[in-house]
Every structure is written in structure tokens, then in C-alpha cells.
Structure 1
Amino acid sequence: MTTEHPPADGSSPPVARRRVPERLDVRPLDRFRSFKVKLGILVGAVVLVAALLTQVSIRAGIEPLLAIPLVVIAALVFTQLLARGMTSPLREITAAARAMARGDYTQRIRSSSRDEIGQLAEAFSTMASELEQTDRMRRDLVANVSHELRTPVAGLRAQLENLVDGVTEPDPAALEVALTETERLSLLVNHLLDLSRLDAGVVELDLEDIELTPFLHEVVDAATLASGGRDVRWIVDVEPADLMVTADAARIHQVIHNLLENAARHSPTGGRIHISAACLEDGDGVRIDVHDEGPGIALEDRSRVFERFQRGGYADSSGGTGLGLAIARWAVGLHGGTIEVLDDPRTEVDGDGRSSLIRVVLPQARPTT
């Protein structure tokens, strides 16, 4: 069943990774996979060196009072030489840990050892890399949220100041501008609350049987109001017309609304936005496609666009928060479904790898929550 709605009027740069300065360490024992084996070899080697030096001193006729201290000193030097190479990763880990305590997560451990210390060094480097990424995401989140909040707050403040100072009359047009900025701020706050629920993992699904034809028309009506009178046409196509899916209506409404809002923002004047739904060929789920006539998402950004504060790889002034697709992926994932960017059926766009076709797949089986 196909229905056409009439047109409405109207990173922080990457941090360079540093390595702990290398030392001139002798590591002939790195090939062994056990630290206990290394200690045994070290003890045996020291005893052997001491015995050889004692034999040499006897043959050379050196007095025992002089030979014994020389043998002990030589054995200690040999022990220190091998032990230094064995414990070098521990010193590097200590230096890196102190740097991490100061907020520097860029240091990595150089270790060619295969024993427990080498494994510890590898685990420490992995942990440092993950902490560095987490810290960068935290800083990016704070910077992005601050930027996103500043824009609607600044616009709302300026409009209200004009109204208070008498520069602008409190007519419907001026109040509509203030309302638009308030709604934009409210949308961002709601998105951030959804992300906090995502991170906390406290969201439960209220599953019900949804008839997709009236449901998608309802979402389109809401998206039409939220589009601010953009001149676009909405086309809804559901096959069969009585197609149903078991899902959380509020969450799926949020998913489709975010996709439609994103599509309307990037559609040209008079563009068409297609929303289609049908059963999968294997009958194990339902697909919902949203396709607009905008510039599309670049091939290299198809996965990254579902991350937080990403906007398809290019800057724009459309007012998006960069959170809608991230929240959509989260909500679809709660249902055990998938969301992805597919190849665009328009040959003139697909030639350079860009696509405006996003597909949501929901399983027919009820997911466990």
C-alpha cells in the first residue's frame, strides 16, 4: 500500500602516542615463556661464570684472597646485566603508570619478552590505549555538548533580550523563533537523557503488536510538524498493508522519527522522502527503509555516522545534534535488530559511494529484556 503525503509549507585531533625511552638492555632470555625458567637459567649461568672465573684464577696463580672478591664482583655484574633486561618492562610499566596518574595515557611499553612480565606489559599497553580512548571520548563529549547547548541557548537569549529591550515586538513570528530554539534545546536534553539511559543499561521494552501502516503515517505526521515547514513530500509504502511487527512502539517511533527528521534536514526543496516497510525474504523479520534525495552519506562514513556527534562526515548548519542516529542504533539494538546504510539505488549518487538509504531490520520474535 503506497500513500503520498502532500508537501508542507515551509574531534579533537588524535593524540600522538609516545613510547617510554628505550634503554640499552641485554635481553637474551626473552625467548623463554616462563619467568621461573629465566630465574633458573640466571642462577645456573651465574654459578657457571663463577666456577669458570675461579678456575681461571687458580690457573693464573692469583691468590684466593684476591680471586674470591674478583669472582664475586664479576658474578654480580653478570647477574645485574641479565636481571636488568628481565625487569626492564617493569620499570617501563612503573614510569607509564606514573604518567597515567598525571593524565598522560599515550605511553606504551616496549617488551619483546614472552613470559609473565611480557604478558603484563602487553595487557598494560592495551589498558592504556583503552583509557586513552575513553578519556578522549569524555573530552569530546564535554566539548560537543557544550557546543550543542551554546547554539540554542545563545539564540534564545538573543531573541528574549530583543523582546525585553523592545527591539523586537512580541508578535507570533518572534515568539515562534524563541519556541524553535527552546524545542531544539529540549531535543538535545532528551537525547542526552536517552544516552545516559543507554550507558546505564536501565531501559526496558514494552512490547506490543504494531500495525505499521497507521503507525508510519503517525510518525510522518509528527515529522512534518517537526520539520519546520520544509518543502518535502513524504511517501509511505507498506506491503502488505496490514503488516505488523512486535516492538516497543515508543522506541520505534523515536527511531523512525529521528531518521525522518534527519532525511528532511538534508533533502532538497521539493524532495521526496520514501518510507517503505515489508517482510524479509526469509520471513524472520521486517525491514523499514527510509530513503531521501539528499547528498547522502559517504561510503567511509557509513559505520561512523551511527556514533555520537557524527554527521555523515561533513559539517552543516542544519541544526542537527549528531545524536539521532546513535540513539536510533541503540533503540534498534534493544530489539535485537540492525540499522545500516545500504547502497543507494540512485545510480548518479551510488557512483561515488554516497547513499541516502537507511534500513532498519526488526526481528519478528520477541527479544528478551
Structure 2
Amino acid sequence: MRPFSPFSIKTKLGTLVVVSVFITTGLLMVALRTKTELRFITVFSVIASMLITQFVAHGLTAPLDDMTTVARAISRGDYTRRVHGADRRDELGDLAATINVMADDLEAVDRHRKELVANVSHELRTPIAALRAVLENVVDGVSAADPETMRTALKQTERLGRLVETLLDLSRVDNGVVPLKARRFEVWPYLSGVLKEAGLAAGQRGALTGSGHHTRKDVHLHLDVFPSELTAHADAERLHQVVANLIDNAVKHSPQHGRVTVRARAGDTPGSLALEVLDEGPGIPEAERHRVFERFNRGNAGLPGSGDGGTGLGLAIARWAVELHGGSIGVAESPRGCRILVTLPGSPKGAG
């Protein structure tokens, strides 16, 4: 539709030609009626056409000069510059708006990169320092290489391993080449296994309650699956990422001796699954809920991933894994604490 717009560059150039012809024709008719010499009319026509052309050309080239300046600044790594005139109603306005959007995206990527480096450096520094201290004490003979000392070193090594896994997951997200290996499985034994791997709880079928061995040993976890033979169709590895990250955040923000509930039910459509993770923490303010699943978001107190030294990637990866299935994830209303609702369809995208 742009070529036929009254504000398009093609229309403006066409108008310029028409106006120039009209001016020349008008001056020629005046010359014939007044017997003015043709050379004077020619000079006046050329001058008038040049003035009009200069006016139109300035309106076209000035935005291009601005775009060139902004593009050069972006190429030097300055993503704060923006092109003026994005509100123009022609092709140059479209181009200016596109460049500004590109600059916004590049600025966001650059900011995320810097935040990632800062967060990862912080995360790496703590376990590396702790591991180094343990090993130096063993080497210097300050402490013996007994099982307790080795367990301390192992915990720090495991923490490093978790960070590396998170970074690998982020790389997969950015590459967008992770295929789904979906299969049908029973929900209760699957979730029970996820919780056992997390060291949180183990118990009887149907209602699982107990103390965990997480960083918060005082938090109790309750598994509620109904019906007990409920099944789901999903990629078990990706779903593990979702559940593990949601439980981890719920535990971190639970009060002393609080409870985290993992609830699974059949979804509204045939074969779908509704999965909820509820805690008894301070909850998430409504104004902050749209930011919970953003990368690097560590939020304020009470928000998942805040105040724990995390990278702010866990819930972003959970959202990616859910959307990879064609499902949805979000913060749902809850009278107390935080309630994260995950919905998976019966036939995930890319299932095979």
C-alpha cells in the first residue's frame, strides 16, 4: 500500500515533476502573452525548479544523514543513539523506525550480555573460592581429607556443575535447535522421581510429604496427583527442567517450616496436563508478574530468583521449555504465596 500512499517518496517525486512542468508551462504562457524574451522565462523556470527540488531533496536526505550517523555509532558499539523522524509517514519513517527497533534490540542484548558476565562471575567466584579454601587446607595439613571435608568440596563442585548446565541450556535456547523427544508417561512416579533427585522428599503414592535435603532443610514438600494413574505426553528431560526450577524457586522463598505443593491434574482439553507449584512465601506483586520469566530478572524481595545470588535464568529456561511444547506458563491468582501454573497440550509441538 505504501507506493499509493499520498505520503510516499514516489508520490513526492511525482508531485515534484508535475509542479516543475506546471511552473515551466505557466511561465511559457506568460511569456507568450507578455512577449517576454524566452531566455528570461527559461532562467526563471530553472531557478524555480531548483528551489523546489532543493526543498524536497533536503527533506529526503536529512533523515538519511541522521540514519548514517546512528548506524556508524551502532557499529562502534554505541547502542544509545536513535534516529529522529521515526514518526514520518513515508518509507524513510519506516526505515527510521526499523533502525530504532534494531538499536533497542541490540542495546537489550548488550545489556543482557553484561549482566550475564557479571552474574556468572559472581556465581563462579563463590564456589571456586570455597573449593580452593577446602583444598588449600587439605594440602597445608590444616584439615584432613576426611569424608566431611570431601563432601564440602563435592557440594561446591556440584554447584559449579549446575551453573554450567544452566549456561548450556541458555545456549540451546538461543540456538533454537532443541528437538522434543516426547513420550507418554505416568505423572506420579515421574514427579516423585524428580523430587527425589532434588533431594526434597520421598514417600508413599498419592500424597508425598517430608523434609528435604535442599538448601532449605526446613521446607516440606507435598505431591498431589489426581487421578493417581494420570498420564502426560511430553519430553521428560525438558519437563524436568521446568519442575526443578519451579520447585527450587518456591523452596527459596518459603517461610520457615513452610510447605511447597506440586499439584498435577488433567487439563481442560483431552490429553493435556495442568501442573501447579504453590508456596507459602510472600508472593509476587501483580505489577511484577509479567517480568518473572524474563532473562536475568532477579527482582525484588519475594520474587523468584531474588536475593539468592542466582543468575535469573531458571524461570526463563522453564518458560522456554514449556513454550517448546506449545504450552503456557504464568503466575496464577492465589490467596497465599505464589502459584505458578503450567499447561501442556496433549500433542506437544515437534513431538515424535
| Residue 361 (str. 1) matches residue 352 (str. 2) | no
Match of 1:269 among 250, 256, 261: 256
Match of 2:77 among 103, 115, 127: 103
Could you list the runs of 5+ residues in structure 1 that have no partner in the other structure?
1-30, 347-354
Could you give the per-residue CA deviations for residues 315-336 of structure 1, whole angstroms, max 9, x where no partner exists?
Answer: 7553533222122212222222
Could you give the per-residue CA deviations for residues 140-198 of structure 1, whole angstroms, max 9, x where no partner exists?
Answer: 33333233222322332233233333444434443333222211111010011111112
Are residues 112 and 305 of structure 1, via their aligned partners in 2, closer, same or farther at CA, if it must alter by over 3 Å?
closer
Are residues 112 and 60 of structure 1, via their aligned partners in 2, closer, same or farther at CA, if it must alter by over 3 Å?
farther
Counterpart secondary structure, 1:120: helix
Residue identity matched to 2:328: T
Name 2:297's counterpart in structure 1.
310
Are residues 302 and 213 of structure 1, via their aligned partners in 2, closer, same or farther at CA, if it must alter by over 3 Å?
same
Conservation of the 8 A alpha-carbon contact between 1:298 and 1:313: no
1:208 to partner: Cα distance: 2.3
Name 2:329's counterpart in structure 1.
339
Match of 2:239 among 238, 243, 252: 252
Name 1:137's counterpart in structure 2.
112
Are residues 87 and 63 of structure 1, via their aligned partners in 2, closer, same or farther at CA, if it must alter by over 3 Å?
same
Aligned equivalents of 1:317, 1:103: Cα separation in 2? 31
1:306 to partner: Cα distance: 1.4
Name 1:82's counterpart in structure 2.
56
Could you give the per-residue CA deviations for residues 101-145 of structure 1, whole angstroms, max 9, x where no partner exists?
Answer: 222232223155433333323333333322332333333333332
Structure 1 stretch displaced more, 58-67 or 257-266: 58-67
Could you give the per-residue CA deviations for residues 12-68 of structure 1, whole angstroms, max 9, x where no partner exists?
Answer: xxxxxxxxxxxxxxxxxxx93332331232234345556677889999999887886
Residue identity matched to 2:180: L
Name 1:289's counterpart in structure 2.
276
Match of 1:161 among 136, 141, 166: 136
CA RMSD of superposed structures (Å): 3.0
Q: Identity, % of aligned pairs?
A: 48
Name 1:222's counterpart in structure 2.
197
Aligned equivalents of 1:282, 1:233: Cα separation in 2? 32
Could you give the per-residue CA deviations for residues 217-274 of structure 1, whole angstroms, max 9, x where no partner exists?
Answer: 2222222266146112121111111111122222222321222222222222211111
Q: How many correspondences in the alignment?
A: 331
Name 1:15's counterpart in structure 2.
none
Q: Normalization by structure 1: what TM-score?
A: 0.78
Counterpart secondary structure, 1:327: helix
The residue correspondences of 1:237-248 to structure 2 (distance < 5 A) are 237-248=224-235
Residue identity matched to 2:108: Q
Aligned equivalents of 1:229, 1:95: Cα separation in 2? 54
Aligned equivalents of 2:137, 2:98: Cα separation in 1? 58
Are residues 56 and 128 of structure 1, via their aligned partners in 2, closer, same or farther at CA, if it must alter by over 3 Å?
farther
| Residue 32 (str. 1) matches residue 9 (str. 2) | no
Match of 2:15 among 37, 41, 47: 41
Could you give the per-residue CA deviations for residues 257-302 of structure 1, whole angstroms, max 9, x where no partner exists?
Answer: 2222222222222111111111134545221211112222222222
Conservation of the 8 A alpha-carbon contact between 1:227 and 1:265: no
| Residue 179 (str. 1) matches residue 147 (str. 2) | no
Residue identity matched to 2:247: L
| Residue 200 (str. 1) matches residue 175 (str. 2) | yes
Aligned equivalents of 1:358, 1:167: Cα separation in 2? 47
Are residues 114 and 229 of structure 1, via their aligned partners in 2, closer, same or farther at CA, if it must alter by over 3 Å?
closer
Conservation of the 8 A alpha-carbon contact between 1:298 and 1:312: no
Are residues 90 and 155 of structure 1, via their aligned partners in 2, closer, same or farther at CA, if it must alter by over 3 Å?
same
Aligned equivalents of 2:38, 2:215: Cα separation in 1? 99
